[in-house]
Structure 1
Amino acid sequence: MHEVRERILARADEIAAEAEANDELGRLTDTTAEVLRSSGVIRMLQPVEHGGYEADPVEFFRTVRDIGVRSASAGWVAGVVGVHAFEIAQMDALVQKEIWSEDPDTWIASPYAPIGRAVPVEGGYQFSGRWPFSSGTDHCQWIVLGGMIVGDDGKPLPNGVRHFVLPRSDYEIQHDSWDVVGLRGTGSKDVLIEGAFVPAHRVLDPVAMEDGGLADQVGRGDSPLYRMPFHPMFTAGITTATVAMAQGALAAFVDAMRGRVTARGVKTANDPHQLAVLGRAIADIEASEVQLFADIERMWEQAQRGERFTPEQRLLVRRNQVRITRRAIDAVDELFLHAGGAVLRRGNPMQRFWRDIRAAANHASNVADPIYQAYGLNMFDKPTPPSVLY
């Protein structure tokens, strides 16, 4: 077991104890952030020369799972923010130095939706936009944002999607933008940029990371971690956090069953129907977790062999990921429906996990139909929409 994971498990009770406070605050509490920061989870995919671990990604995602079982919002932020170091490690060495030279524990936010518009200027781009859903952003000092390069007419250029990296001084967090019913503690607020200059060395074409080949180009070919495909790595953070919520909801349901008596005077622990519901849910949630980590392990073995990732291989992982989350969400829905009226009370942890996993279902990475359709098209040798692979 990785030392970071050991530290997380040693402080698991603290993570769980802060879950409700995260929701009330609308972001991770300083205590939760301190636990994550001091454990090193956000540095697990960070280069060794910048204070990171360059850890086995399977261990990283298992650590995210262990966090999310206790606090959905903390697991979500750990998964999302933790993957950003994986991308920055494949960018210009100057960017890495700017971010980590003074503080290796510097966190990096996102989102990647190509909302921004970048006007080419001497030495870089003039960049503007407003992005929703910047998870964990209050605790981050840098950000990676999706945008499109535009021509003289202001229209996006073909193949002009890029990732732009900016320091905290160049963007504003819209603190009144996060009022939601689920994943409240993630603090996934809007960020605003009005005409910030982004030098060219802080701009990356994300397509270059997709097959694992960028590692060779930037001098990281000797590290199998950076041969992993970017898109399935980022979405694995979302999938892992979602499965963790299901595990948390399951644990809360079991705890409630131990002492609950139905209106008919039957102990739920002896009720055949309740036990059948529980058995189905356990099987589905455990199946989701097995498939999730099997895919990560398979990709990791391939990266260690130095092999590139084909579109078909990446699409297979994405097909599995959306099915994994759907299976886990459905299991939690059934548990929630059979948990009794007490589950509606705000102090009941199960209602929080149910709200959180329902919010997770709306993340773009968990939207299933486009992935299934693309997989079907690929089976019949038809063009795959690029949007599902990049």
Structure 2
Amino acid sequence: MNDDTTKNGLLAALRDQAEKTEQDERPTPESLAALRALGVLALRTPRAHGGTEADAVTIARRLAAVGRACPSSAWVAGTSLTAKNLAGHAYPDATAAELFADPDALFCGSGLPGGRGERVPGGVRVTGSWPNVSGCEDAGWASLGVLVDGSMSFVVVPTAELTVERTWHMAGMRGTGSHTLVARDLLVPDGRLAAASPFGPGDRLLYGIAVLAPVVGAAQGALDATTEMFASDRRPFMSAHSRMGESAGARHWLAEAAHLVHRAENTMVAVAARVDTGVLSDRDGHQQRLDLADAARDCRAAVELMLDLHGASGFRTGNRLQQLWRDIAVGSRHPHLNPYLATEDLGAALVAPLAG
């Protein structure tokens, strides 16, 4: 069996598990096994610890391919990547060796300062709660923002030492299991405490790509479902056409939807390529972030056209398109893809040189 056949089989398994992942509000064991076998959980594991430490273009394409099969699973893999990237840069070698002993381990995390740490001999005692932590029921490690002595820091702790409160009840991205993690007087050793430093524009964009790629993948999956409909014997109701493809209007909408999906993918990959150059000013970062937000809006516009083509049948609970629509609607509204905040930040960067 060649590599492409193996990869396609794993992606097919993810697609087959997508409905159950949504029902269970977490990736199924079969989905997690497929993510591991595809290598996406090691994309940002340091090479020194057995990972690929992949570039941003590779990350964008690999996560989108997974999102095409199961957006929730791709989202969990993307947020794991973000937590691993932070841990790989923040902690000393001895701690990193412990964290990445399994290069394919699933991580989760939250950059919000949801907890407070009180210094004690040998470490800090942490109490707090962090909402919207994707994949927290299946992750081995959690990277969490805490305030220690009034300063922002990060701690990394085994998720087994935390309590999961199942608070994620959403219309879309249900399978991400983005519940609330709670710590109560948890002792974290000094080696797992790191001072937070501001993210550079490259890292900020990488984290935006990690949430955009599953959305782009979902839009590609919706386009797959729509082209399958055109290949079927489905006909436009209340028309003289015997097949969807006979309608010039339907063909036009299909072309427009495909254009929007392809534009979103191209925008994402172009931003990723800029990240990989390693040369980005803050102003560049704001411009590229707005590009990512535009790509997310292209995905939303595309799936609306596809739903119009399907008509009311697209909203049947058994129709995959409605799940992808809901996943796109929720995922594309992540703060990293917020268009008005991206516009606000870019505007501030543009006028800053003029203020003097």
TM-score of the superposition, structure 1-length normalised? 0.83
Contact 2:119 2:148 in 1 (8 A): yes
Match of 1:231 in 2: 204
Q: 1:20 is aligned with what amino acid?
A: E
Picking from 192, 213, 216, the partner of 1:243 is: 216
**Using the alignment, how far apart are the partners of 2:141 and 2:321 within structure 1?**
34
Shift of 1:317: 1.9
Shift of 1:195: 1.7
Shift of 1:25: 1.2
Contact 1:64 1:75 in 2 (8 A): yes
**Using the alignment, how far apart are the partners of 2:133 and 2:309 within structure 1?**
34
Alignment length (residue pairs) = 349
- Structure 1 residues 253, 84: CA separation in 2 closer, same or farther (over 3 Å shift)? same
Contact 1:377 1:383 in 2 (8 A): no
Match of 1:92 in 2: 92
Contact 1:8 1:63 in 2 (8 A): no
Match of 2:160 in 1: 169
Shift of 1:298: 2.1
The aligned runs of 1:265-304 (5 Å cut-off) are: 265=239, 266=241, 267-300=243-276, 302-303=277-278
**Using the alignment, how far apart are the partners of 1:322 and 1:340 within structure 2?**
27
Q: 1:250 is aligned with what amino acid?
A: L
Contact 1:144 1:163 in 2 (8 A): yes
**Using the alignment, how far apart are the partners of 1:66 and 1:332 within structure 2?**
17
Contact 2:10 2:38 in 1 (8 A): no
Shift of 1:357: 0.7
Q: 2:187 is aligned with what amino acid?
A: F
Question: Per the alignment, in what secondary structure is the counterpart of residue 89 of structure 1?
Answer: helix
Match of 1:48 in 2: 47
Cα offsets for 1:246-279 (capped at 9, x unmatched): 1111111221233321221433222222222211
Shift of 1:161: 2.4
Contact 2:267 2:291 in 1 (8 A): yes
**Which residues of structure 1 form unaligned runs of 5+?**
151-156, 212-228, 385-390
Contact 1:147 1:163 in 2 (8 A): yes
Q: 2:294 is aligned with what amino acid?
A: R
Shift of 1:240: 1.0
Q: 1:172 is aligned with what amino acid?
A: T
Contact 2:289 2:337 in 1 (8 A): no
Question: Per the alignment, in what secondary structure is the counterpart of residue 381 of structure 1?
Answer: helix
Cα offsets for 1:86-112 (capped at 9, x unmatched): 2221122122122123x3332211122
Correspondence 1:111 to 2:82: no
Range 271-280 or range 58-67, more displaced: 271-280
Match of 1:323 in 2: 294
Picking from 342, 347, 356, the partner of 1:376 is: 347
Question: Per the alignment, in what secondary structure is the counterpart of residue 137 of structure 2?
Answer: helix
**Using the alignment, how far apart are the partners of 1:6 and 1:322 within structure 2?**
34
Contact 1:58 1:296 in 2 (8 A): yes
- Structure 1 residues 380, 37: CA separation in 2 closer, same or farther (over 3 Å shift)? same
Shift of 1:27: 0.6
- Structure 1 residues 121, 383: CA separation in 2 closer, same or farther (over 3 Å shift)? farther
Range 163-172 or range 196-205, more displaced: 196-205
Match of 1:314 in 2: 285
**Using the alignment, how far apart are the partners of 2:5 and 2:143 within structure 1?**
29
Question: Per the alignment, in what secondary structure is the counterpart of residue 148 of structure 1?
Answer: strand
Shift of 1:282: 1.2
TM-score of the superposition, structure 2-length normalised? 0.91
Contact 1:65 1:240 in 2 (8 A): yes
- Structure 1 residues 199, 316: CA separation in 2 closer, same or farther (over 3 Å shift)? farther
Question: Per the alignment, in what secondary structure is the counterpart of residue 132 of structure 2?
Answer: strand
Match of 1:199 in 2: 189
Shift of 1:383: 10
Aligned-pair Cα RMSD in Å? 2.2
Shift of 1:382: 6.4
- Structure 1 residues 263, 294: CA separation in 2 closer, same or farther (over 3 Å shift)? same
Picking from 226, 229, 235, the partner of 1:261 is: 235
**Using the alignment, how far apart are the partners of 1:32 and 1:126 within structure 2?**
35
Question: Per the alignment, in what secondary structure is the counterpart of residue 256 of structure 1?
Answer: helix
Contact 1:291 1:324 in 2 (8 A): yes
The aligned runs of 1:149-168 (5 Å cut-off) are: 149-150=148-149, 157=150, 160-168=151-159
Q: 1:297 is aligned with what amino acid?
A: A
Range 125-134 or range 371-380, more displaced: 125-134
Q: 1:262 is aligned with what amino acid?
A: P
Picking from 169, 174, 194, the partner of 1:179 is: 169
Q: 1:244 is aligned with what amino acid?
A: G
**Using the alignment, how far apart are the partners of 1:78 and 1:12 within structure 2?**
14
Q: 1:182 is aligned with what amino acid?
A: G
Q: 2:269 is aligned with what amino acid?
A: F
Contact 2:127 2:186 in 1 (8 A): yes
Q: 2:100 is aligned with what amino acid?
A: W
Correspondence 1:128 to 2:122: no
**Using the alignment, how far apart are the partners of 1:206 and 1:319 within structure 2?**
25
Q: 1:92 is aligned with what amino acid?
A: P
Q: 2:99 is aligned with what amino acid?
A: I
Shift of 1:234: 1.3
Shift of 1:19: 0.7
Shift of 1:201: 2.9
**Using the alignment, how far apart are the partners of 1:147 and 1:282 within structure 2?**
44
Correspondence 1:70 to 2:41: no
Shift of 1:290: 0.6
